[in-house]
Structure 1
Amino acid sequence: MHVSKRLPSLRKTALALATGLAASLTLSSAQAGDVEVLHWWTSGGEARAANVLKELMEAEGHNWEDFAVAGGGGETAMTVLKSRAMSGNPPSAAQIKGPEIQEWGELGLLGNLDGVAEAQQWETLLPETVAEVMRHDGHYVAVPVNVHRVNWLWANPEVLDDAGVEMPTTLDELFAAAEPLREAGYIPLAHGGQAWQDATIFEDIVLATAGTDYYRRALVDLDPEALGGEPMIEALSTFKRLRTLMDDDMSGRDWNIATSMVIEGDAAMQLMGDWAKGEFTAAGLTAGEDYLCAPAPGTQDAFTFNIDSLAMFRVSDEGEREAQEDLARLVLEPTFQKAFNMAKGSIPARPDLDMSEFDSCAQQSLADFQRTADEGGLMPSMAHGMAVRAAVQGAIFDVVTNYFNDTDMEAEEAARRMVNTAQAAY
């Protein structure tokens, strides 16, 4: 993907900042040693994980100004960030990921973390897949917090046992489990009817039905032949079948509420990234005993990744700059990497850490990350902002969620719309 194309909303931001960049370096309300951090880690497990970093920063003498914006997919947080940037007053650091890091870098608004990177030897510490996302124009502008696996299936073993079904490893097994689960009084698949959640399970289905090579062609490279071809039509048809596994009250439901349905035994399973594990952990549950994890059915050879990262905005105040550098350094130190990721459900951004204290799901995730990286199955998540720019992602979201919720729209029509909207947005 060329990095010169920008979101329409960021084009407006660029125009506003053409005359306001100097103001962005002087109008910040933060004082020496203060660091304002915009993020969307607001659910139980996520908030607990973010607090770890806050405590570490305060132990170093800095003041953490928490700027938490609720919304599991981060869309609301990005809207707030653009508003702040356009007013010439961006936060010190913001949770930005994937291609959007490049967009903010192109606007000349991000700081330089090369000094911290050199001191901590990020070049050897980080997998190249992770490191390349953190760089703009050859310079480090962001620090990775973790690596999430998106293509997970979570399940309540007591519910499965009560219905007499096994943890499904294929889509056929997943659909076959629905009838006995419903007869036993359970919702087969917990889901939140939000566009980003629809897209999350959609990309799982694309991987399961068409494989990694096709996934890359369609959802990363945006190849029109792939987006509108027979594999996409098959994936869309299977995707809509998943509605038969869900309850009628899912519209607007937050992802963590769907996770709680599995925890409480109202639902059997959930397709969601490993941040869901943070909710199980916060509930005091043990992986492999109180809940089960497995790759989304049919995606065992793939690992769709979502890397949370903190990008640093340019500041003029020396104390604030030092606080930013300390923040970047602390994020990659073992103390935070272990504590944060054990609470969040993800795996460390640096693979050299001892994983013996992590649960079995995390240990499997790291092993699968390394294996799929070697085998070519490591895929950036389209649904979570790692594969395409936000304008393209938003266009795909619209098609996916409209199709999923429209009983009359055929898969062929959705595939045609996928091609047209992706090309128009790009």
Structure 2
Amino acid sequence: MRPEVMGDMRHRLLRVVTTLLLPTSFVMAAGGHECCLAAALNPPAASTIIGTIPSPVVTTPTTQNFPAPSSLQVVHWWTSDGERRAVSVLINKLAEQNIQWRDAAIPGGAGIGAGKVLKSMVLAGNAPEVTQLNGVIFGEWSDLGLLLELDRVATQGSWQKLLFPTVWSLVNNHGHVVAAPLGIHRINNLYYNTAIFKRLGMTPPTSWDEFDQVATRLQQAGITPLAQSSETWQVATLFETLALSESGPAYYRQLFVDVSPKAFADPRLLHILKRLRKLRQFMPQPVTERPWTEVAHSLADGRAAMFIMGDWVKGEFNAWGLNVDQQFGCAAVPGTADYHLYSIDTLAMFAGDYSHQPAQEVLAQLMMSPAVQADYNRFKGTISVWRTPDLNRMDRCSTNSWRTFSKGAASQAPSLVHRMATDETTKDAISAEVRRFFTDERVSELEAQQRLISIARALPHTARGD
């Protein structure tokens, strides 16, 4: 890339990164606690993180579509056992085309660490060829002119016809396709240890009254009812799930897409906060900050009976040799059986000097191929982004997820935590305040609601969807 182009790109990116990493002003307006987001402003150096996760074994290339070996550096946060199995599908398919996947896996749930490292790499002039990007942030990167447009690949592959409308809309920005989709996660899942439930003669709860009864019975049996971490994104994931359970997707969107101060002032939010606090009594004491994989282990080994989390947990259980309806079961979180709280896995390509465009387009084509859609999603725990996938290759959990998502937008809710609903600044501010309430019992439900209202009011009109 020419130095003058690179300099202009850095200047424009700096403006956007500054915007993305300045939540302090309105957090202060909500009552201080700049420290809640200070860690987001000080990411570890990329050199200390990238490459710490070993790459899966790559198969020997079987075909050669390029005159010389090509490679793509890929920044992502798929580092757990199940996630690595899914990534290996892409690595091996690329290898068959004589394209090397240069792994830059950044540990950290919800992509928090990866996002910071990515921005540092781009500002330093070392943008990767491919990056995992989720949600509305596509538009911010694309508007800078940094992302490769995949219109030709999408047209040749009939993506608009194949994809769910929600997915097609997500990967488009101002009429151009700027990312390639992989799979759809359902987040509002209740996982349970089948051996424990069978021993106690219980079935998974479908209402919160039933949940309380089941949890009480588990406590009496000396079993922790609900596994949970105090890590910010995990607490916020539970919070957004409870919000969906409270009043469905319409009110959920008022909260996290519109970020409406009126919605945050609604009595329903107070009820959500009360439910969140009540659930603490059913969690391990104290609730410590643990990676989601460790929390999942506590359910798998019987220390806890239930876990509310996205279906990446199912992919992890499968990687450990556990199977649906044998060692673990899955159900919708009480009150959400008809709804789908979703996050969509996607990869975007940095245009750079366009020298990697052929290889990048091959990757995009492979991601939408029947083989990758089937195998990646089977390992990841997700469902295909295709409207009509092969249902025979899905387990019960995935089939229920696909049927619910297929109902359309009225049943779908975009995840706040996983960047489907709003910008990074808004997500971080709401998540930090929810964690503060969750971890500090001195903060009342009413005080937390007032602070969330203040955050919503302090946001720019554009962030609120006005």
Answer whether TM exceeds 0.5 for this pair. yes
Give yes or no for the alignment of 1:155 onto 2:192.
yes
Which residue does 1:325 correspond to in 2? 361
Q: What does the per-residue CA deviation read over 1:399-425, in whole Å, with 9 as the maximum and x for residues that have no partner?
A: 100001111111111111112123334
Distance 1:101 1:41, change over 3 A: same
Counterparts of 1:129-278 in structure 2 under 5 Å? 129-278=166-315
Counterpart-to-counterpart distance in 1, 2:299 and 2:165: 36
Which residue does 1:335 correspond to in 2? 371
Counterpart-to-counterpart distance in 2, 1:420 and 1:224: 8
Counterpart-to-counterpart distance in 2, 1:211 and 1:336: 33
Counterpart-to-counterpart distance in 1, 2:290 and 2:459: 28
Letter in 1 for 2:137: E
Unaligned runs of 5+ in 2: 1-12, 22-67, 461-466
Question: What's the secondary structure of 1:146's corresponding residue?
Answer: strand
Question: Structure 1 residues 309-318 or 291-300, which shifts more?
Answer: 309-318
Judge conservation of contact 2:20–2:425 (CA < 8 Å) in 1.
Answer: no
Distance 1:364 1:248, change over 3 A: same
Question: What's the secondary structure of 1:37's corresponding residue?
Answer: strand
Alignment: residue pair count: 402
Letter in 1 for 2:104: F
Which residue does 1:28 correspond to in 2? none
Give yes or no for the alignment of 1:10 onto 2:17.
yes
Which residue does 2:125 correspond to in 1? 88
Distance 1:419 1:32, change over 3 A: farther
Question: What's the secondary structure of 1:188's corresponding residue?
Answer: strand
Letter in 2 for 1:415: Q
Give yes or no for the alignment of 1:415 onto 2:422.
no
**CA-CA distance at 1:7 after TM superposition:** 10
Letter in 1 for 2:141: W
TM-score (norm 2): 0.83
Q: What does the per-residue CA deviation read over 1:41-98, in whole Å, with 9 as the maximum and x for residues that have no partner?
A: 0001001111110111011001110010011110000000000011111111111011
Counterpart-to-counterpart distance in 1, 2:128 and 2:438: 37
Judge conservation of contact 1:114–1:140 (CA < 8 Å) in 2.
Answer: yes
Letter in 2 for 1:418: L
Distance 1:387 1:7, change over 3 A: farther
Counterpart-to-counterpart distance in 1, 2:131 and 2:188: 25
Judge conservation of contact 2:69–2:98 (CA < 8 Å) in 1.
Answer: no
Letter in 2 for 1:355: L
Give yes or no for the alignment of 1:387 onto 2:421.
yes
Judge conservation of contact 1:195–1:401 (CA < 8 Å) in 2.
Answer: yes
Counterpart-to-counterpart distance in 2, 1:322 and 1:250: 49
Which residue does 1:354 correspond to in 2? 390
Judge conservation of contact 1:162–1:184 (CA < 8 Å) in 2.
Answer: no
RMSD of aligned residue pairs (Cα, Å):
1.8
Judge conservation of contact 2:146–2:352 (CA < 8 Å) in 1.
Answer: no
Letter in 1 for 2:395: D
Counterpart-to-counterpart distance in 1, 2:160 and 2:270: 41
Counterpart-to-counterpart distance in 2, 1:70 and 1:52: 19
TM-score (norm 1): 0.91
Counterparts of 1:389-408 in structure 2 under 5 Å? 389-408=423-442
Question: What's the secondary structure of 2:285's corresponding residue?
Answer: coil
**CA-CA distance at 1:277 after TM superposition:** 0.3
Judge conservation of contact 2:20–2:424 (CA < 8 Å) in 1.
Answer: no
**CA-CA distance at 1:157 after TM superposition:** 1.2
Which residue does 1:17 correspond to in 2? none
Aligned sequence identity (%): 36
Give yes or no for the alignment of 1:344 onto 2:380.
yes
